[in-house]
Structure 1
Amino acid sequence: MLIPTFVACNKTPEDTPETSGDESSFEFKISASDLSKYKIICAEKANNRVINCALAIRDAIKQLTGITLECTDDFVKAESAFTVGQYEILVGDTNRSTEHISSKLSSLEYSVAVEDEKIYIVGSSDSMLEYGISKFISMHIGEEGIVINKKKEINKVSMADFDDKLMPVLSFDFNEFKDGNTSATNADMSARLVNYDIEGGYKGNAVRFHGTPTKYGGAVLPNGAVYNAVSDTTAYTVSMWIMPYQSYHGSTLYRLLTLFGKGNNEMLIVEYSSPLIKVTAAKPDGSGKVECSFPYALETAIPAFDAVNTNDGVWQLVTITVDYATGKIDFYINGQTVATNDKIGSNLVCDGITGKSTTTYGDCIGGNTKGNSRSFNGVIDCFNVYNTALSPSAVEVLYRSFGSSETPSVTEDQAILDGIVEKLGSGLAVLGNSANTVYRGRVVKADGTDYSVVNPIISGKIHLSENLAERFAKDQNKKITINAVTVDGRKYYPATELCSNFGLQYIDFTAKNGMFVILASDSTMTDKDTQAIERLSTYCTVKNYEPKIPVEQTRTVIATSDTAAGDYTYSPSIVRCSNTLYASRDISCDRTEVFASEDNGKTWEYRGQIKNLWWATIFAHKDELYLIGRYDTLGFGTGGDHYIGVTKSTDGGRTWTAITAEQGGVSYNGYAVHCGPTPVIVANGKIYRVFESTKGEKRVFIAMCDVDADLLNPENWSFSNHYSNNSFPNEGNAVVTPDGNVYILARLGTETAFLMRLLGNNNIAEVGRINFPSTANKFTCRYDAKTGKYLAIVCPLVDPDCPYQRNFSALAVSD
């Protein structure tokens, strides 16, 4: 029978009153004979984890009582005569009004409740539902049926609920460092740190690696450290907090972890890229290798470069379980399962990890001791290894147990900055004796026409330059009626008097940190926001890399992009042909557009475009205008035929010759090519341009054509032999020396370039890596006959945390 019981009370279900008084006396029983009246219900659109929970209850009841209950969903046909069943076991949120139960749950909680003859089991997450189902089965289902002793109970799940399974067998918290080493927190072991910095971590300190392709970095553990820690088990789990910095292409992989098994075979490789993490697992002897990618998307302040999304700039707990008994690999981000579309199969099934490791390589957190892999670019903290495959609920508990980060991530820090800017509103933050101010969320100069002008402190008071005061007054619709102070022929207005003139409040921290904040009508900042004002002062401080001359005096806008429509400017290139300057750009690898200036660059007009050509260089040959770049007949990433595209304009860039296999379509063995808008040079009676290809081995080669030949005839082009290097120097500049030799100077890494030379037999010889004052970005290099020097326009390394930053330009010179 169904028997809810109370003190001194035995009622049939029809007579059951509402619970009142002491709920500890409640008892709800479903005898084995009455269980057949019940159905197990989950939501119509429940995911597989919830469905499996329902099936787990069904299987447990069948095993203990021999009764098989029907599992179905909560679908009810509209306007039908169907009525909801009286006897139901409801699993997860359903349309049977479970929200009043689940809405009261906080994280890491599940609830078992009884209302009338229905049993409700809900969790704050799928993991908590799974844990709650396992507890429900073990505590409430028996051979006699189901017995529940509370009308409603909410259970908080903690690490203690998992006994010792959440105790790592190897752990590095990266809090203390000595002589380039850090010790494990629970073992007599240390890790040797290579090419690292110490930064604030998720908890305490952490290690920062810089993702260089030219030398490995990482925390190097003793040989076989992880293998030996989890020996004599059939499964293991690794977990670590990471905060990636700016990554590059979505296809670039940064080594996050390398673990070695028997011999010198990797048993686990974990690699990070912008939109996903790639896991390569193998049996302890290296056989049965499985590769699978786990795509995911987190909210971040860093925009994706060429991937669908990026997870840079966000703290994230990466957890991976490998189970040799089942052959499963499970992957979690922030305590939640991430799926893969790759098939794992049964390749990993084996007896597990046995004996001791014999590897000669050290496990490496953030890198690879065995080969030249790009080390991780970001922060790693709280590395833990477990000698079991943690369950999904255990992984969520592990994640929740860390609490909030102690060091803001890039994204969290951006949110802090956004909050400061919002508080400042249209007010003005000024640092005494500095040329920089913060206004409307931007750093602006005290004088937009002369960057040497500062907002001085005169007689202990901050003054605003005449230019800044007039701009601010105009924006605020105010009129300056006070007298200025003149110093060395320049006028300045005292900030306090200017605020009185405008009827505005202010915060004067001149004596404290040199800051003065003018509060506009929409400002909500107060003098209690000391940390916010201190943060603003860092942006008001002039950096040594800032331009000294106003950009308006040195640059002319040729064209802008409609970024709202997804149009972005790539591949700028410029040339003079006859008396006209021509500039080109490509729009989002879709088309190349051409602009012209008849007044030496003062004004520009749009001339024309060519579809499906990008990464192009515009150049002049025999007073005729050409473009050369990559051309795909169907556009970027859509298949079709791939060419080195050469096209010509005879009407000043307005129209361009079509690119086909017979005209202008130069095929490099049918492969797609890569390049940048790098120089087209003339030497030794030939035209040279550098390209790369990633088909098969990564290769660099030069395309060339006789200067007197028809450049549009594909048969007139030939190629040097290619140079291959897994570090993949790319976007190479063909540079001709005064003695006629042709060199290739290619981008490689942060403050590193790669130099090659074209030999007489058309082979490309490696000269080697050279120090080069640029970030890991495209640059352009020429030999200047007038000065006898090599000149390069580069993006210098301004912020070590952003090696791919692209919004600075500098002129570099070499003899």
Structure 2
Amino acid sequence: MKHWFGCVLYLASVLSAFGQVLPASLGGKVLAFSPASTKVYLGSPSIVILPNGSYVASYDTFGPSSNSDTATLLASSDKGRNWKTLTALHDQYWSSLFVLKGFLYIIGTDRAIGRPVIRRSQDNGATWTTPTTDADGRFPMRGRYITGPVPVLVDHGRVWRTFEVIDGDDLREIVMSAPSGGDILDTRNWTVSTELASNKAWLDGKFLSWEEGNLVETRGGLPAVLLRVNTTVGPEKAAVINFAQDRRTLSFNPASGFIDFPGGGKKFTVRFDPQTQRYWSITNAVSNDDGRTNLERVRNTLALIWSSDLRTWKVQRILLQHPDRSHHGFQYADWQFDGKDIVSVIRMAYDDDHGGAESQHNSNYIMFLRIPNFAEP
């Protein structure tokens, strides 16, 4: 894998101000900025394309000075060249945007390590419903949940979304789904799968946890779940979880369910493209010769990767890279197909006029990035 790390595309200028446009060849733009001195860091970006062609993006904040319970939404009506702030949604966190039957939805938790909530907007994100009961978006679920802006899949006549429930030191995977033709704001219409536990003995004892599962369509069968896998050392892995026909029971075979996945130790989004007949993702790929480096915090490379079968992944191209791993990161990329392009939003730790990011993890920017002609080498 060393050869593709030579294909480096550096950012051509130092970001120094909110709203600065990145190099035109990248189609990038800063959507939000927070200096490290504020102790408020930017995270959980999500993006969706509305039926009218406009983009809506969201992000939240974390860190010592953040309440960790609010999502901010922005919109662009000119393909990402200019953006405006729409609103801030309190008690909305770690959230995914999606469109169903012409309406815009957001689903996540009500706070960090909170409980699932869902909202709907009928005016393209300007105003939103408020989840107060199980009839209008507040799931009556006990426990503590974590997630990220993972894909919401509409497949087999249902809407599907993953969460992880905390059980001691284990993150147990669950999948929630509802009929796509019904009222998905009424949480009583949703079905919750069985909880799938993990095991620290997997991968010869190198397994730590799994999280931030991607629901992906398969060729003819029920959706599968592709999970981020945290391990003590590389090479990085992802885990493939399957459904039983009852749409409630999850299963995992540790002998065959782990796959090599560039960047699998960090959050990623996977989607299937019917035009190329490939699965695509944007990840923090790391070469496999890094010894005992903590790969979970190596986020200084952003790569576009693909697979024809969900199991064997190849790097298409390097999108962004910086030689420093400690204070530079292009991470948590969420994205959508837009014709021959991919449009994405990225949590970014990078240089600024205030001393730069606190670390590669504690990001000071949210960036919009267009990837033109993504299927070309």
1:738 offset after TM fit, Å?
2.9
- The CA distance in 1 between the partners of 2:34 and 2:101, in whole Å, is 32
Q: Which residue of 1 aligns with 2:71?
A: 592
- The CA distance in 1 between the partners of 2:133 and 2:298, in whole Å, is 38
8 Å CA contact 1:616–1:630 kept in 2: the answer is: yes
Q: Is there any run of 5+ residues in structure 2 with no aligned partner, and where?
A: 13-21, 63-67, 200-207, 309-377
Q: 1:684 aligned to 2:156?
A: yes
1:564 offset after TM fit, Å?
2.5
1:645 offset after TM fit, Å?
0.9
1:792 offset after TM fit, Å?
1.0
Aligned equivalent of 1:659, options 119, 125, 131: 131
8 Å CA contact 1:703–1:719 kept in 2: the answer is: yes
Q: Which residue of 1 aligns with 2:331?
A: none
The Cα offsets for residues 70-95 of structure 1, whole Å up to 9 and x where unpaired, read as xxxxxxxxxxxxxxxxxxxxxxxxxx
The Cα offsets for residues 515-548 of structure 1, whole Å up to 9 and x where unpaired, read as xxxxxxxxxxxxxxxxxxxxxxxxxxxx725216
The Cα offsets for residues 706-750 of structure 1, whole Å up to 9 and x where unpaired, read as 101112112111111121113432101000113142100001134
1:773 offset after TM fit, Å?
0.8
Q: Which residue of 1 aligns with 2:210?
A: 729
Shift of the 576–667 alpha-carbon distance from structure 1 to 2, 3 Å rule, reads: same
8 Å CA contact 2:50–2:124 kept in 1: the answer is: no
1:492-511 matches, within 5 Å, as none
Q: 1:699 aligned to 2:172?
A: yes
For the pair shown, the structure with the greater C-alpha radius of gyration is 1
Q: How many residues align?
A: 265
Q: 1:719 aligned to 2:192?
A: yes
1:441-520 matches, within 5 Å, as none
The Cα offsets for residues 333-390 of structure 1, whole Å up to 9 and x where unpaired, read as xxxxxxxxxxxxxxxxxxxxxxxxxxxxxxxxxxxxxxxxxxxxxxxxxxxxxxxxxx
Q: 1:780 aligned to 2:242?
A: no
1:784 offset after TM fit, Å?
0.9
- The CA distance in 2 between the partners of 1:566 and 1:595, in whole Å, is 22
1:590 offset after TM fit, Å?
2.7
Letter in 2 for 1:597: S
Pick 1 or 2: higher relative contact order, CA cutoff 8 A, min separation 6.
2
- The CA distance in 2 between the partners of 1:802 and 1:766, in whole Å, is 26
Q: 1:766 aligned to 2:259?
A: no
- The CA distance in 2 between the partners of 1:808 and 1:572, in whole Å, is 17
- The CA distance in 2 between the partners of 1:559 and 1:760, in whole Å, is 43
1:654 offset after TM fit, Å?
2.2
Q: Which residue of 2 aligns with 1:621?
A: 100
3-state SS of 1:755 partner:
strand
3-state SS of 2:37 partner:
helix
The Cα offsets for residues 435-474 of structure 1, whole Å up to 9 and x where unpaired, read as xxxxxxxxxxxxxxxxxxxxxxxxxxxxxxxxxxxxxxxx
1:592 offset after TM fit, Å?
0.6
8 Å CA contact 1:703–1:720 kept in 2: the answer is: yes
Shift of the 808–719 alpha-carbon distance from structure 1 to 2, 3 Å rule, reads: same
- The CA distance in 2 between the partners of 1:609 and 1:754, in whole Å, is 34
Q: 1:754 aligned to 2:226?
A: no
Q: Which residue of 2 aligns with 1:544?
A: 6
1:760 offset after TM fit, Å?
0.8
Q: Provide the alpha-carbon RMSD of the alignment.
A: 2.0
1:332-411 matches, within 5 Å, as none
- The CA distance in 2 between the partners of 1:661 and 1:691, in whole Å, is 20
Q: 1:807 aligned to 2:300?
A: yes
Letter in 1 for 2:252: E
- The CA distance in 2 between the partners of 1:733 and 1:805, in whole Å, is 21
- The CA distance in 2 between the partners of 1:573 and 1:623, in whole Å, is 18
Q: Is there any run of 5+ residues in structure 1 with no aligned partner, and where?
A: 1-542
Letter in 1 for 2:229: L
Aligned equivalent of 1:796, options 265, 278, 285: 285
Letter in 2 for 1:626: Y
Q: 1:607 aligned to 2:86?
A: yes
Q: Which residue of 1 aligns with 2:117?
A: 645
3-state SS of 1:658 partner:
coil
8 Å CA contact 1:699–1:728 kept in 2: the answer is: no
Greater fraction of residues in helix: 1
- The CA distance in 1 between the partners of 2:184 and 2:43, in whole Å, is 25
Letter in 2 for 1:758: F
Letter in 1 for 2:251: A
Q: Which residue of 2 aligns with 1:577?
A: 50
3-state SS of 1:694 partner:
strand
- The CA distance in 1 between the partners of 2:166 and 2:72, in whole Å, is 26
- The CA distance in 1 between the partners of 2:130 and 2:223, in whole Å, is 30
8 Å CA contact 2:119–2:129 kept in 1: the answer is: yes
1:673 offset after TM fit, Å?
1.0
3-state SS of 1:564 partner:
helix
Q: Identity rate of aligned residues, in percent?
A: 29
8 Å CA contact 1:607–1:652 kept in 2: the answer is: no
